[in-house]
């Protein structure tokens, strides 16, 4: 195969070594700039970010539903408000889980993060 004429100056003598060095330095420089200042991410970092965002979204969506379950249950049974006020604020999430307000259709057991957020919402409404 014949080398094109415009590449011949780069492939003769000491020039190929400089060409390869330039390509490598350019690639390394591009990666450094891209990952540190360009906002590039590796696949594992993106998976972690997506997982965290999904968990946060789930909590933000389900905690108000849990608090509403408590509100509706307290309408039916007025003693629930007295009982939840008697529980220490740091253990209300356990009480919410035990009562079943943090268990949703399709889930076999309550989500502790949703129960914690729900307990915070309930505490805010009790004040």
Say if residue 34 is in the same domain as residue 62: no
Tens-place pLDDT, residues 28-62? 999 999 989 998 999 999 999 999 999 999 999 99
Taking residues 88-100, what's their average pLDDT? 85
Q: Answer yes or no: is pLDDT of 114 > 80.
A: yes
Say if residue 32 is in the same domain as residue 47: no
Residue 14: its pLDDT value, please? 63
Say if residue 52 is in the same domain as residue 17: no
* C-alpha to C-alpha distance for 3 and 6, rounded to whole angstroms: 8
In a domain, 2, yes or no: no
Helix axes 112-126, 92-99, angle to 10 degrees: 110
Say if residue 14 is in the same domain as residue 68: no
Give pTM, 2 decimals.
0.66
Range of the domain at 80: 43-126
In a domain, 73, yes or no: yes
* C-alpha to C-alpha distance for 24 and 9, rounded to whole angstroms: 19
Kindly list the distances between the CA atom of residue 95 and the CA atoms of 45, 62, 79, in Å, as whole numbers in the listed order: 35, 17, 14
CA-based nearest residue to 19, from 2, 34, 35, 6: 6
Say if residue 49 is in the same domain as residue 87: yes
Say if residue 28 is in the same domain as residue 79: no
Say if residue 47 is in the same domain as residue 25: no
Structural domains in the chain (count): 2
């Amino acid at each position: 195969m014949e080398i094109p004429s415009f590449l011949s100056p780069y492939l003769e003598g000491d020039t190929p070594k400089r060409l390869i060095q330039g390509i490598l330095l350019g690639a390394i420089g591009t990666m450094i700039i891209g990952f540190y200042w360009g906002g590039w991410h590796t696949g594992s970092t993106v998976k972690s970010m997506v997982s965290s965002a999904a968990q946060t979204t789930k909590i933000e969506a389900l905690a108000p539903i849990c608090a509403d379950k408590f509100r509706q249950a307290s309408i039916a049974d007025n003693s629930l408000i007295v009982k939840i006020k008697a529980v220490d604020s740091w253990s209300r999430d356990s009480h919410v889980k035990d009562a079943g307000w943090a268990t949703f259709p399709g889930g076999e057991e309550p989500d502790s993060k949703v129960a914690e957020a729900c307990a915070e919402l309930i505490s805010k409404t009790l004040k």
